[in-house]
Amino acid sequence: MSVTSEQTRPIISPQQTLSDVTDQLASIPLHFPTRRRWLIALALSSLLLLLFFVAATVLFTRGVGVWGLDIPVNWAFAIHNYVWWLGIGHAGTLISALLLLMGREWRNSLNRFAETMTLFAVVCAAVYPVLHLGRPWYIYWMFPYPATMKVWPQFRSPLEWDVWAVTTYLTVSILFWYIGLVPDLAAARDRAHRRGWQVFFGVFSLGWRGSALHWLRWQQAYRLLAALAVPLVVSVHSEVSLLFASGQIPGWHSTIFPPYFVMGAAFSGFAVVAMIAIAIRALFRLQNLVTDDHLDVLGKVLLATGLMTAYGYVFEIFDALYGGHPHEIQTVEDRLFGIYAWSYWGAVFFNFVVLQGLWWRSVRRTPWALFLIGLSVAVGMWLERYMILVTSLYRDFLVSSWGHYTPSFWDWAQYLGTIGLFMVPFLLVIRVFPVISIFETKELLEEEEEEQAGLRHA
């Protein structure tokens, strides 16, 4: 039967031994192979990071007026890019946690860099509300501390929920990433010859020795963290959608928003995971571990989440027409035919039209094609958030409060800067830590071997 042959076909070649895999993966930080290309990438990213700091300095010295936001579009790039980055982050957790719980072992080649992506995407997201505060040094007002002014933060506001959701998400992501990393740090420690590396990995591996009793507790903890992380992702992005949906602005005030946002987040995140997977396997020549089959399955997931996001688009329009509220219908018309229609049709094109290429197996298995589709989705989802934000705000109930929005130079500078804020720490992490989970890859190899042996006996 073809179904069984599909299931038992190993995703990474079982020709490789445990020892090969360990040496290959642990040697990436210890004997870094692609110094030149990595340094070029780091230099370019550092320039972007520099731009980030310049833009933030200008913002802090001159105030949020340097951005293009104004009444009525007073949320603009700050929350637009916040949602975009946070959404990208979610796919890392979903790949790692959801697929672990579902027993999809192919994730073992992808989870490490996907989780790393999550960490820094969340950092990029989290800086935006802080930058937008206007007086960012008062950030601690968001936390309940016994103030001499005898005031407390307002927990009935979605803006306050956001603080807790993002802080929790970042902390849990770090814990999950680190707990999964510890055994690999021990493997790298045991391969290290230079004193500096020995101390570095020795300290961070916490003295992990692979004791069976430790593994048993580790498995309990890892699976429990995964089980916590999945609903956490859903709750965090639902909460983000509530920032919009609990306002009464036409185009926002809809119950479709939480699932629509969660799907869109997974969609954009899987797109970026696919791009990173392709870049990393090319950079470190890891085609034996991140195989064409991985790209194939990533392409399928991307297509599936994309179609679910498309359902959100359809339902949003249906919602407005069925509800019959004149301002809701007006907003739909503004989106489809207004002066920002390019953001709507741009989102439709880059998200869903280009995506249709993934129906073809050969497209899914061609790295550059999948990379371009991933890039297209990242752009499309960026346009989607712009569309949701601006087309709702620039014309709401009162004609007297209608206005326009154009991002300023410093808006763009800050946004491009966050790409540096993402890339620089990401490049540093793939420089010093094993970029693919060593022990989970070995676990997968061992299982494949057992399966093969079982087939031979059967």
Q: Determine the interface stretch with other proteins among 48-56, 184-192, 247-255, 276-284 (rule: CB under 8 A).
A: 184-192
Pick the closer one to other proteins by CB: 230 or 373.
Answer: 230
**144 is a site residue for other proteins (CB under 8 A):** yes
Out of 224, 321, 339, 353, name the contact with other proteins by CB under 8 A: 224
Is residue 89 involved in binding other proteins (CB under 8 A)? no
- CB-CB contact of 158 with 242 (8 Å): yes
- Residues 16-45 interacting with other proteins (rule: CB under 8 A): 17-19, 22
Rule CB under 8 A: choose which of 172, 275, 276, 389 binds other proteins. Answer: 172
Q: How many CA atoms lie within 13 A of 264 on its CB side?
A: 30
457 binds other proteins (CB under 8 A): no
C-alpha distance from residue 29 to each of 180, 197, 257, 371, 428 (Å): 17, 9, 42, 25, 10
360 three-class SS:
coil
Select the residue interacting with other proteins from 175, 283, 307, 348 (CB under 8 A): 175
* Token output for 334: 């503004």
Nearer to other proteins, 196 or 207 (CB): 207
Residue 421, number of CB atoms within 10 A of its CB: 23
**150 interacts with other proteins by CB under 8 A:** yes
CA–CA gap between residue 397 and residue 251 (Å, rounded): 11
What residue has token string 């040094």? 137
The residue within the footprint of other proteins, chosen from 202, 258, 264, 346 (CB under 8 A), is: 202
Q: Which residue's CB is nearer to other proteins, number 13 or number 211?
A: 211
Can you tell me which of 119, 142, 232, 245 binds other proteins, judged by CB under 8 A? 232
Q: Is 168 in the site for other proteins (CB under 8 A)?
A: yes
C-alpha to C-alpha distance for 103 and 96, rounded to whole angstroms: 11
Name the residue with tokens 């094609």.
369
Q: Take residue 272 and report the two structure tokens written for it.
A: 């970026």
What does 119-140 look like in DSSP terms, one character per residue?
HHHHHHHHHHHHHHTSSGGGGG
Kindly tell me which residue out of 228, 279, 304, 432 binds other proteins, with binding defined by CB under 8 A.
Answer: 228
Binders of other proteins in range 237-266 (CB under 8 A): 239, 242
292 touches other proteins (CB under 8 A): no
Q: Which single residue is written with the structure tokens 């249906």? A: 318
Q: Residue 53 interacts with other proteins (CB under 8 A)?
A: no
Tokens of 434: 């094993």
Residue (172 or 277) nearer to other proteins, CB: 172
Q: Cα–Cα distances in Å, from 214 out to 97, 219, 222, 331? A: 20, 9, 12, 57
Query: Would you say 328 or 440 has its CB closer to other proteins?
Result: 440
Stretch that binds other proteins, among 157-165, 248-256, 330-338, 415-423 (CB under 8 A): 157-165
Work out the angle between the directed axes of helices 76-93 and 212-245 (0-180°, nearest 10).
150
Phi/psi at 206 (nearest 5 deg)? 60, 15
Catalog residues that contact other proteins under the rule CB under 8 A.
17-19, 22, 144, 150-156, 158, 160-161, 164-165, 167-168, 171-172, 175-176, 178-179, 183, 186-187, 189-191, 202-203, 206-221, 224-225, 228-229, 231-232, 235-236, 239, 242, 439-440, 442-443, 446
